[in-house]
Amino acid sequence: MNQEYIIPNAWSIIEEGWNPSQVKSSESLFSIGNGAMGQRANFEEKYSGASFQGSYLAGVYYPDKTRVGWWKNGYPEYFSKVLNAPNFIGIDVFVDGEELDLATVQAVSDFRRELNMKEGWYERSFVAHFSDDKAIQVVARRLMSLEIDELAVMNYQVTAVKGDLRISFQPYIDAGITNEDTNWDDQFWEVEELLSEGHQGLVRSRTNKTNFYVATFMQSELIKNGEHLQYAEHFDQNDTLIRHKAVCDIAQGESVTLIKYAGYVSSLNHEHSDLFNAAKAVLHKATALGYESLLKLQADSWTHIWAMADISIDGDLKAQQGIRFNIFQLNQTYSGKDSRLNIGPKGFTGEKYGGSTYWDTEAYCIPFYMATKDQQVARNLLRYRYEQLDKAVENAKKLGFSSGAALYPMVTMNGEESHNEWEITFEEIHRNGAMVFAIYNYIRYTGDYRYVPEMGLEVMIAIAKFWHQRATYSQPAKKYMILGVTGPNEYENNVNNNWYTNYLAKWCIEYAVEHIHKVKKYYPADYDRIMAKTKLTDRETIEWLEVAENMYMPFDEELGVYLQQDGFLDKEIIPVNELSKEHRPINQKWSWDRILRSCYIKQADVLQCFYFFEDHFTKEQLSKHFDFYEPLTVHESSLSPCVHSIQAAKLDRMDQAYQFYLRTSRLDLDDYNKEVEEGCHITSMAGTWMSIVEGFGGLQIIDDKPSFTTKLPQQWTGFSFKINFRHQIIEVQVTSAGTKVSLEGKHAQEIILNGEHITLEPQLVNA
């Protein structure tokens, strides 16, 4: 953990001072993106020090041949890789013929980075000293346009601090890039065509195997004293790179700026043959608007986002900065416009985890997008899974399931499983339950029941079939059991009767049957279509219910708690706080077998069920289970603290809730796990949002009405947030004086505030 790294600020992430050992971490933290593409905060100019280069294009991946020791039947053929895409940010800079490289210049001073979250740009500035009488100041700002999501703009200003200097800018695009993460050192990209025309450069490349076609493009302008300068159309080119050159002499004190418009267009959105034209159209639009207008449009776009998504916290600057960073990154990662995309665990900030979609989306991310954007965004996330249902059925078939049972993949880019640890791929099947929970959560929140007959019911049926087939009847217990699973707590593998899994399975079946009946009654045409497609019989649903009704639930009478799995109490139970520090984190300090036979819990497991189905349990039950399981939890997943923060708040343990909140919200900014250089923990950021809205704000949906049970951590003087509830905006402002709730919309909305039913009229109500 490094709490001194980032300077606290309400709206910006700021780093001051030149520290080469922090470059890779800052490259992650200062990443920018616009939902369609994103990139790490690599330097524009050459940098020969340690760096982790990354530009990423949503939906473009490579199926890298799986690497395992011994093959096991059912393993997927490949592990998908997030692809480092061609570099378009590059601007090599020469000062009197000497190349600018912060790793080799005489000295660097006044180094500063700022990620301005309010307006959506990233700026880096510094003074580079080449010799005692030669120095330049650089101010390099860039943005990825939300308005034109194929476009990025760089504004690279050089000022002669010492000396009259000749500045040579060499903007380039480089398609000769590689991944840090590759199993077999395969080549991921092939370059197809390079084209240099005037001040434009274009490269079309193709991904191997997946055949995504991408045109990377650039166009530059040179500006001095507000005037566009003409410069020669000089360029170099090799098999994978186009480099232009713009030279300008400046006197001491003068500045010159290179503006570079660049970006990607891809075959996801254009015809292969039309890519260069599409790129030129983007460049035409961008240069017509110009840098200042694009900067303004960017600020406007972000103003629009913040108007809905902002959370303000008073009296705690670090907490404020943390939550805004989380909200900012989530919006950079996923805009919800494209139902083919999803939310990668590292977003556009790194390569790790090799897929875009985990159950994180359904369990942690949907509430955020549902409440801070139009409900269509959440619907698109659900639709993503619906569109991949066939592949989930295929996946289950590979494992021996039949007649349309579906197992959604643990990790995926396109619906196919692309993870290959048997204990995860084959056994962490609770993920299937999260798919149905997300549908339930969506309908509960939005009231958009149409989704069920349109798409949701087919998913529910396929998943109910899976659970039915996956259960085993235990003769001794006279109950159905689910053997050989891994729960959310991945520090247990191949256990029997993980309570969370069994509970979800039972619930999934019952929920599916409930909605089969409902669709039959209210949407008979859809019902007929779905029954014809799924060939579901009454007999089969009766068998499902037999399994659901007789599902085994491990429970200890003496303790009065559900057991994480069979045999859990046979372990040596020692609370985490009695474990000496040298043993932690256990995933780094202990061998895998020691972790497995220990009682320690990686992230909420039993408590995840209490989170999902809060209303199925009493507060006393929650309290008892929290008291038993939390002390055994090491929170070594980024998804762990948020659930515990919410539950601690429910239980009025505000100090604990606050500590968990801080840990989740500043996980990356304070680099808790000393790994931020690999990228940020994007999906857990949605959990941070939940800790405030569902934890301190106590949001629940009860009988179609939002309910808030608000609690103010003593470290804060107040906080406020908004939610988009069924096309109207509800704002909640909590201070020590009480809670104010207001409504922006057209018609009255009934809510529950701290237990009281209230009708909000548009534009003013408080309590």
- Contact residues for its own copies, defined by CB under 8 A: 66-70, 72-74, 79, 398-400, 420-423, 426-427, 472-477, 481, 483-484, 493-496, 566-567, 569-573, 587-594, 596-597
> How distant, in Å, are the alpha carbons of 83, 257, 407 from that of 64?
10, 41, 22
Say what the alpha-carbon torsion angle 573, 577, 582, 583 is, to the nearest 10 degrees. Answer: 30
Q: How far is the CB of 685 from its own copies (least distance, A)?
A: 23
> How far is residue 706's CA from residue 698's CA, in Å, rounded to a whole number?
10
Query: Which DSSP string do the residues of 7-37 spell out, in sequence order?
Result: BP-SSEEEEES--GGGHHHHHHHT-EE-SSE
Rg (CA), the chain: 27
117 touches 192 (CB < 8 A) = no
Least separation in angstroms between CB 663 and its own copies: 23
C-beta closer to its own copies: residue 522 or 592: 592
Residue for token pair 């037999």:
546
The residues facing 608 across adjacent strands are none
d(CA 42, CA 24): 8
- The neighbour count for residue 558, using CB atoms within 10 Å, is 6
Please give the Cα distance from 212 to 596 (Å, whole number): 41
465, 340, 413, 267 alpha-carbon torsion, rounded to 10°: 140
Residue whose structure tokens are 């050192």? 185
- Among 114, 416, 458, 490, the active-site one is 490
Least gap, CB of 566 to its own copies (angstroms): 6
User: 623 vs 95, 328, 600, 610, 653, CA distance in Å?
Assistant: 66, 34, 19, 10, 10
The two beta strands, 705-708 and 749-753, are parallel
> Are 38 and 347 spatial neighbours (Cβ–Cβ below 8 Å)?
yes
Interacting residues of 496 by C-beta distance below 8 A, sequence separation 6+: 481, 482, 483, 484, 485, 565, 566, 567
Q: Which is nearer to its own copies, 157 or 494 (CB)?
A: 494
593: left (phi over 0), alpha (psi -120 to 50) or beta: alpha
Nearer residue to its own copies within complex by CB, 183 or 240? 183
* Shortest separation between residue 379's beta carbon and its own copies, angstroms: 32
Give the separation between CA 163 and CA 126, rounded to whole angstroms.
Answer: 17
Closest to its own copies by CB, 125 vs 474, is 474
Q: Give the nearest distance from C-beta 485 to its own copies in angstroms.
A: 9
Residue found by looking up tokens 């400046």 in the block: 250
- CB nearer to its own copies: give 237 or 494: 494
Quote the least distance from Cβ 351 to its own copies, whole Å.
14
Strand pairing partners for 474? Answer: 479
Tell me how far, at minimum, the Cβ of 410 lies from its own copies, in Å: 12
Q: Are 171 and 243 in contact (CB under 8 A)?
A: yes
CB of 185 to its own copies, least distance (A): 10
Minimum Å gap between C-beta 457 and its own copies is 27
Distance, CA of 478 to CA of 94 (rounded, Å):
78
Residue 147 or residue 566: which is nearer to its own copies going by CB?
A: 566
Any alpha helices (H) in 259-412, and if so which ranges?
275-289, 291-309, 317-333, 360, 366-372, 375-387, 389-398
Among residues 572 and 578, whose Cβ is nearest to its own copies? Answer: 572
> Is the CB of residue 464 less than 8 Å from the CB of residue 512?
yes
How far apart are alpha carbons 725 and 716 in whole angstroms?
A: 26
Residues 53 and 34: their CA atoms lie apart, in Å, by 18
Nearest approach in angstroms of CB 182 to its own copies is 13
Q: Which is nearer to its own copies, 111 or 422 (CB)?
A: 422
Is 416 a known active-site residue? Answer: no
Contacts of 292 by beta carbon, 8 Å cutoff, 6+ apart: none
Q: Cα–Cα distance between 576 and 130 in angstroms, integer? A: 53
Contact 76, 66 (CB under 8 A): yes
Answer yes or no: are the C-beta atoms of 197 and 244 closer than 8 Å: no
Tell me the closest approach of the beta carbon of residue 471 to its own copies, in angstroms: 10
Instruction: Quote the least distance from Cβ 588 to its own copies, whole Å.
Output: 7
Q: Which is nearer to its own copies, 174 or 416 (CB)?
A: 416
Which long-range CB contacts under 8 A does 733-736 form with residues at least 24 apart?
Answer: 734/696, 734/697, 734/710, 735/314, 736/712
- 361 neighbors 377 (Cβ within 8 angstroms): no
- In whole angstroms, how close is the CB of 593 to its own copies at the nearest point? 4
Within 10 Å of residue 759's Cβ, how many Cβ atoms?
11
Q: Is 216 helix (H, G, I), strand (E, B) or coil?
A: strand
Q: Closer to its own copies at the Cβ: 91 or 485?
A: 485
Q: Catalytic amino acids?
A: 490
